[in-house]
């Protein structure tokens, strides 16, 4: 029998479930955590808390299942979208707390984008509207940090949404990748050409060297190292939480609709 470890890294908790090959849950783990509110409208998370709660939830799920890590065929990851991290490629350490999707610190920058006449370009390229919700202005804000600038100049700085950060950590830095559903929520991804947008990278002053490789949601994202779960496990799937929920709720044919209430 094949088993799958599904990881759901969310806004207020990290969860994991082991499924058998007919979709029955056979092991579960969940670790809640607190958010950080440095100022009114600012929302952050500690990257180490994101990592450690994810790791513990996955370990608990495996421990409560009838299978050991060596019997798990693959890992799939779903995650809170837009939440933004920058880290040092050599140490793996984040240069700042993660800026959460709820954060509004770049609201004035978004007003400036409207003044600059960027609304049409942003919508044409990314399919999105101008709003602090998305990753683009969060990355730009983080790049004001002198340490981030130093690492960027040396080629050591990496950007990712939560999925990318987890894959980087799980694979020991061997994989710097995201899937198209997460890339499409950064406001930096050309959804027609399926590449990072040079126009938007230039506008925000974001070096292309920071960006992860964009893959299909079902793809080879590398292997979680044996040190984490007791055996190497391949990572074969990633999807942002709302897109993953679409599939999970059975919306797999044209004309089917999922509606999300709250978060």
Instruction: Give the CATH number, domain containing residue 38.
Output: 3.30.420.40
pLDDT at 262 over 80: no
The pTM of the full predicted model, rounded to 2 decimals, is 0.93
pLDDT digits (tens, 9 = 90+) for 39-56: 999 999 999 999 999 999
The pLDDT value recorded for residue 248 is 86
Residue 263: pLDDT band with limits 50, 70, 90 = low
Return d(Cα 252, Cα 55) in angstroms, integer. Answer: 30
pLDDT at 30 over 80: yes
Return d(Cα 92, Cα 80) in angstroms, integer. Answer: 20
Query: Which residue's structure tokens are 């370009």?
Result: 121
Tokens of 143: 């790049």
The pLDDT value recorded for residue 52 is 98
The pLDDT value recorded for residue 258 is 87
pLDDT digits (tens, 9 = 90+) for 200-220: 999 999 999 999 999 999 999
Whether 50 is covered by a domain: the verdict is yes
Please provide the distance, in angstroms rounded to a whole number, between the alpha carbons at the two ends of the chain.
34
Counted residue by residue, the chain has a size of 263
Reduce the secondary structure of the chain to three states and give it as a string. CCEEEEEEECCCEEEEEEECCCCCEEEEEEEECCCECCCCCCCEECHHHHHHHHHHHHHHHHHCCCCCHHHEEEEEEEECCCCEEEEECCCCCECCCEECCCCCCCHHHHHHHHHCCCHHHHHHHHCCCCCCCCHHHHHHHHCCCHHHHHHHHCCCEEEEEHHHHHHHHHCCCCCCEEEHHHHCCCCCEECCCCEECHHHHHHHCCCHHHCCEEECCECCCCEECHHHHCCCEEEEEEEEHHHHHHHHCCCCCCCCCCCCCCC
Whether 254 is covered by a domain: the verdict is no
Whether 255 is covered by a domain: the verdict is no
Tokens of 3: 């088993």
- Interstrand relation of 195-196 and 189-190 (parallel, antiparallel or unpaired): antiparallel
Tokens of 216: 């299909």
Sheet holding 3-9, edge to edge: 25-32, 13-19, 3-9, 72-79, 233-240, 223-224
Whether 126 is covered by a domain: the verdict is yes
Please give the mean pLDDT across all residues of the chain.
95
Residue 260: pLDDT band with limits 50, 70, 90 = confident
Please give the share of the chain, as a percent, with pLDDT higher than 90: 91
Whether 61 is covered by a domain: the verdict is yes
pLDDT digits (tens, 9 = 90+) for 104-149: 999 999 999 999 999 999 999 999 999 999 999 999 999 999 999 9
Tally of structural domains, the chain? 1
Q: The domain containing residue 232 runs over which residues?
A: 3-248
């Amino acid at each position: 029998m094949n088993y799958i470890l599904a990881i759901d890294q969310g806004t207020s908790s990290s969860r994991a479930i082991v499924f058998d090959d007919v979709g029955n849950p056979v092991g579960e783990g969940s670790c809640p955590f607190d958010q950080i509110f440095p100022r009114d409208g600012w929302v952050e998370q500690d990257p180490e808390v994101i990592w450690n709660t994810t790791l513990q939830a996955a370990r608990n799920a495996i421990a409560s299942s009838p299978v050991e890590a060596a019997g798990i065929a693959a890992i799939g990851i779903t995650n809170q979208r837009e939440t933004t991290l920058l880290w040092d490629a050599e140490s793996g350490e984040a240069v700042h707390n993660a800026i959460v999707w709820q954060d509004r610190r770049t609201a004035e920058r978004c007003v400036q984008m409207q003044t600059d006449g960027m609304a049409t370009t942003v919508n044409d390229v990314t399919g999105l509207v101008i709003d602090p919700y998305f990753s683009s202005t969060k990355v730009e804000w983080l790049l004001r940090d002198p340490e981030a600038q130093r690492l960027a100049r040396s080629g050591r700085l990496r950007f990712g949404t939560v999925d990318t950060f987890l894959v980087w950590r799980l694979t020991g830095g061997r994989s710097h990748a995201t899937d198209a559903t997460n890339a499409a929520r950064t406001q930096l991804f050309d959804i027609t050409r399926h590449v990072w947008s040079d126009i938007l990278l230039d506008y925000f002053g974001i070096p292309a060297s920071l960006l992860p490789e964009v893959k299909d949601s079902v793809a080879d994202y590398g292997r979680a190292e044996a040190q984490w779960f007791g055996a190497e496990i391949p990572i074969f799937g990633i999807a942002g939480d709302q897109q993953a929920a679409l599939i999970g709720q059975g919306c797999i044919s044209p004309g089917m609709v999922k509606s999300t209430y709250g978060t």
